[in-house]
Structure 1
Amino acid sequence: MKLTRGYLADFLSLLFPQLCDACNENLSRQEKLICTNCLYNLPYTNFHQQTDHVVARQFWGKINLESSYALLYFIKGNKVQRLMHHLKYKNKPQIGNFLGQIAGKQLITNDKFKTVDVIIPVPLHHSRMRKRGYNQSERFANGLAEKLPAIVSVENLVRTKATDTQTQKSRFSRFENVKSVFAVNDPEALKGKHILLVDDIMTTGSTLESCGNILLEIEGVKLSIATIAYAE
Structure 2
Amino acid sequence: MLARLIDTLAPRSCTICGGRLTVTEEVMCACCNQSLPRTGYARNACDNRLVRLFWGRIPIERGASLFFYKAHSDTSRLLYQLKYGGHPETGELLGRLVADEFAAGGFFDGITALVPVPLARQRERERGYNQSVEIARGISTAAGIPVVGDVLERISFHGSQTQKSRWERNENVEKAFRLTDASAVRNRHVLLVDDVITTGATLVAAARELFKAGNVKVSVLSLGFANNE
Q: Which bin holds the TM-score, normalised by the shorter protein? A: over 0.9
Closer/same/farther in 2, CA of residues 60 and 6 from structure 1, 3 Å limit: closer
Match of 1:139 in 2: 134
- Picking from 16, 23, 41, the partner of 1:22 is 16
Q: Distance in 1 between matches of 2:28 and 2:209?
A: 36
- Picking from 139, 146, 150, the partner of 1:155 is 150
Closer/same/farther in 2, CA of residues 6 and 80 from structure 1, 3 Å limit: closer
Match of 1:96 in 2: 91
Match of 2:43 in 1: 49
Contact 2:3 2:23 in 1 (8 A): no
Where does 1:211-222 land on structure 2 (aligned, <5 Å)?
Answer: 211-222=206-217
Unaligned runs of at least 5 residues, structure 2: none
Contact 2:11 2:21 in 1 (8 A): yes
- Picking from 4, 18, 30, the partner of 1:36 is 30
Q: Distance in 1 between matches of 2:101 and 2:176?
A: 32
Match of 2:200 in 1: 205
Secondary structure of the residue aligned to 1:40 is helix
Q: Distance in 2 between matches of 1:55 and 1:135?
A: 23
CA RMSD of aligned residues (A): 1.7
Q: Distance in 2 between matches of 1:149 and 1:8?
A: 32
Contact 1:191 1:221 in 2 (8 A): yes
Count of residues in correspondence between the two structures: 226
Alpha-carbon offset, residue 92 of structure 1: 1.1
Closer/same/farther in 2, CA of residues 219 and 34 from structure 1, 3 Å limit: same
- Superposition misfits of 4+ residues, deviation over 3 angstroms: 5-11
Rg larger in structure:
1
Alpha-carbon offset, residue 203 of structure 1: 0.5
Alpha-carbon offset, residue 6 of structure 1: 8.0
TM-score when normalising by structure 2: 0.92
Q: Distance in 2 between matches of 1:7 and 1:59?
A: 46
- Amino-acid identity (%): 34
In structure 1, what residue type is equivalent to 2:169?
Answer: R
Closer/same/farther in 2, CA of residues 41 and 187 from structure 1, 3 Å limit: same
- Picking from 188, 191, 197, the partner of 2:186 is 191
Secondary structure of the residue aligned to 1:18 is coil
Alpha-carbon offset, residue 204 of structure 1: 0.6
Q: Distance in 1 between matches of 2:206 and 2:222?
A: 14
